[in-house]
Amino acid sequence: MKSLLLILFFLYSCQESFESKYDKALKLSENSNYRQSNAILHEIIDSEDSSQETKNLSYFLLADIYLKINQYENAISSYKSLLKTPIENKLRKQSLFMVGYIYFNNLHMYTHAKKYYEQFKTEYRDDNLIASVDYELESINKIINNGK
């Protein structure tokens, strides 16, 4: 019995926490080692044992990585995963903005961008980013109206 407890303790102590795995993925990303970072982030996201907060951070970092390597649809997908979190979540707010931003500035999908920017304005009326959202919406409307 004592040896079983020692084995279990050893296995538990050797296991790296998900928070430290996230920190490792962040450092890898900062060093442009996106492939390894991506693998760690997916491990965190796919695990039933990682906390929701660590998963949220992982989705956001993963989206940022995809954005850096011009995989815009994957970036949007990762950002959208955070739109399921409570409205008070800061990463949710940033993700909602980024979805609109990528649709407009990278994919030139103006109606999609407009939808997410308008959702941002509805959900975060008094936010500091509203001026940026308004500017983006004005630009989108000019493009749409010039096309008619």
Q: pTM for the full model?
A: 0.86
CA quadruple 92, 95, 100, 103: dihedral sign: negative
Tokens (6 digits) for 34: 């996106």
8 Å CB contact between 45 and 53:
no
pLDDT tier for residue 13 given thresholds of 50, 70 and 90: very low
pLDDT tier for residue 147 given thresholds of 50, 70 and 90: low
Report the run of H or E that residue 80 belongs to, with start and end.
Answer: helix 72-81
CB atoms within 10 A of CB 103: 23
Percent of the chain scoring above 90 in pLDDT: 84
